[in-house]
Amino acid sequence: MNARRTARDRAPCTDPETLRTTDIDERVESIEKFLCQEMTSALELPSEHSVDSRKPLHTQGVGSIVALRLERRIRLLLGIDIGAVRILRASSVTKLAALCALRMVDPYPRRSVPEDVSDSMPRTDGGRL
């Protein structure tokens, strides 16, 4: 048996400061591995089963309670504030990991205002163009 551990075998880095300084691809991979481990633990999956990082979380048994646990673990260990609803709506663990990785750099991303909403918003320039 090979005593050397590959990058895939190692525990994921969860130190926010270290993750912020890593390459975005490494950051996403580390967060993805962390999320899969947390989901496996929260869902109490046996060792012969694993989480598929390409499938939506809700199709793998993640409901509101597990999403709340994941939300808490993400906040505590990674320092990222991401809601349980966002976790439940994630199209895959990989996409959720990418979102988390981006939030580490910009925790409050600007939201664009949809065109149909901007038309109904009060104007601050007196209505002039």
Q: What is the pLDDT of residue 10?
A: 55
DSSP 8-state secondary structure symbol assigned to residue 111 = P
The answer to whether the CB of 129 falls within 8 A of the CB of 63 is no
Report the predicted TM-score, pTM, of the whole model to 2 decimal places.
0.69
The pLDDT tens digits for 27-45 are 899 999 999 989 998 999 8
Q: Per-residue pLDDT for 66 more than 60?
A: yes
Q: What is the pLDDT of residue 129?
A: 46
The larger pLDDT score, comparing residue 123 to residue 72, is at 72
The pLDDT tens digits for 96-117 are 999 999 888 765 555 554 444 3
The answer to whether the CB of 93 falls within 8 A of the CB of 77 is no
Within its chain, how far is the Cα of 31 from the centroid? 7
Mean confidence (pLDDT) of the chain: 77
Q: What's the whole-number mean pLDDT along residues 66-86?
A: 92
